[in-house]
Structure 1
Amino acid sequence: MSEAWCKVYDAGNALEAHSLKGMLEARQIEVHLSGEGLGAAAGELPANVVEVGVWVKASQQSCAHLLLEEYEHADPSGWICSACGEANGSQFELCWQCGQDRLAES
């Protein structure tokens, strides 16, 4: 029997959804997105209808919620990579220059 999936977030658009998907997958959380194709109807449909759903397996839901809460309350000023010194925006979990994990900063 396959495990149930739970919707953990409604992203405003496909770009945000894929960013969150990458963040969660970097933490070994399986992710499924729903509603990506509705973005083409933006302006024709209500905004909440064209949101992209972010789904995770039920067993990974609590971990995903913690990471998404951190995402929502992230410091907009960003962070400096300890490995290469590159400035990264707060939305990045990995250094865009060298791939160093942001959590290695702690």
Structure 2
Amino acid sequence: MLIYTHPLLYQVVNVQNLLSLHHIKTVVRNEYAAGATGDLSANETWAELWLQDERDQSRAQQLIAQMDEQSREEWFCSQCGEKNSGSFEVCWQCQAERRL
């Protein structure tokens, strides 16, 4: 079952890693299809993440939604007070780790 797709392979692999941390098995498909862009429509060449077990769908969707929400929320570094993008796991100014 297709659970996630994105034009950038690294983003699909990030989601795969997240799900793997929660013991959800997946398979990446279309990882080499980007070279066919032009011959195929762009969205047909996007990397795809497929669940191996459909029973994991609900939990996988929750985890992906949480990841998307966290990546949009800006945060302030507890060490230096610098404002950081939600996609950063460490402060761009002082390299302190993000504390949730």
Shared fold by TM > 0.5?
yes
- The answer to whether structure 1 residue 8 and structure 2 residue 8 are counterparts is no
- Confirm or deny: 8 A CA contact 1:14 1:39 kept in the other structure: no
TM-score of the superposed pair, with normalisation by structure 2: 0.67
TM-score of the superposed pair, with normalisation by structure 1: 0.64
- Confirm or deny: 8 A CA contact 2:71 2:85 kept in the other structure: no
The alignment of Structure 1 onto Structure 2 pairs a total of residues equal to: 94
Give me the CA root mean square deviation.
Answer: 3.1
Unmatched runs of 5 consecutive residues or more in structure 1:
1-5, 83-87
Identical positions, percent: 24
Unmatched runs of 5 consecutive residues or more in structure 2:
79-83
- The answer to whether structure 1 residue 58 and structure 2 residue 46 are counterparts is no
Q: Which runs of 4 or more aligned residues in structure 1 lie more than 3 Å from their structure 2 counterparts after TM superposition?
A: 75-82, 88-92
- Confirm or deny: 8 A CA contact 1:13 1:39 kept in the other structure: no
- Confirm or deny: 8 A CA contact 1:71 1:91 kept in the other structure: no
Please identify the structure whose Cα radius of gyration is greater.
Answer: 2
